[in-house]
Amino acid sequence: MKIAYVFPGQGAQYSGMGKDMYDQSEEARAMFEKANDILGFRITDVMFAGAEDDLKQTKVTQPAIFLHSVVMAAMMGDDFRPDMVAGHSLGEFSALVASKALSFEDGLRLVSKRAKAMQKACEAEPSTMAAVLGLDDDSVEEVCRLVDGVVVTANYNCPGQLVISGSIAAVDEACEKLKEAGAKRALKLPVGGAFHSPLMESAHTALEQAINETEFAHPLCPVYQNVTAQAVTDPVQIKENLIAQLTSPVRWTQSTLNMIADGATDFIEVGPGNVLQGLVKKTNEDVNVSGFEFKV
């Protein structure tokens, strides 16, 4: 039996997230307060009692989900014994910190810079994303190639569930063509921009220097990174893949299949929500999926 720990990305946030850990664990409280100091504002106030719109701000959302996930992993103590880890988009940073490839402080600083750079890229050029259901990967990729303008496959979430990303006009056209091609749904998402597409190039450039200046170590176990969906342990390769991530697709389906092929029988989601548990189960219904529940 091998255990894969997986870490969620943007969209898993909710008001009240992490308050139970803050209230009941001195170790967790110290990590949350350190995060407040590093970020320069009390992100805990927004996490614990903020309105939905407050939590949706990219500069808040990404550090909040990262913080919840890595604190939760720390709360597992000796029970956190991963054979492999992976994270969906933003969650890759959580996975790297939990597996000791990256320090908590450096991880948080990178996530904060990433969020601000992505927000700036979104404001520079209006763009969007759309979920596509009920169509195979090849068909979605082919439709995107036929559309004028920037539109690409951004997230391979599970078989029959992809997300496309690009300029508003190109995504609108692609959605119509995808429905004509047999998609059950092609629905625009309430996001601020075209994540994991060429339109994130300015954010990619801004983050590249910060990642290159950050020290990475060998992780406790293989990390299945979004860009390649392959197991990685070499710090240099980890950094290269992390730099490429913002403008490359999240190959979550492929990562899940590769983890299973390498022996994963149990997937434990660490962080807010249960989205990844559903995606893993839709990819292979025979594996065991669960979430970590914090208890004193």
Question: Does 99 qualify as catalytic in the annotation?
Answer: no
Length of the chain in terms of residues written: 296
> Cα–Cα distance between 68 and 80 in angstroms, integer?
15
Residue 35 is classified by DSSP as: H
* Token pair of 61 as six digits: 């959302």
53-68 b/e (C-beta count within 10 Å ≥ 16 → b): ebbbebebbbbbbbbb
Distances in Å between the alpha carbon of 35 and those of 151, 209, 283? 36, 22, 35
Q: 68, 69, 89, 248: which is the annotated catalytic residue? A: 89
Q: 88, 112, 167, 196: which is the annotated catalytic residue? A: 196
Provide φ and ψ at 169, rounded to 5°.
Answer: -65, -40
E strands, 14-95, are: 84-87
Question: Does 204 qualify as catalytic in the annotation?
Answer: no
Q: In what order do the strands lie in the sheet with 84-87?
A: 231-232, 223-224, 84-87, 2-7, 264-269, 288-291
> Cα–Cα distance between 283 and 289 in angstroms, integer?
12
Helix, strand, or coil (residue 33): helix
Catalytic residues: 89, 196
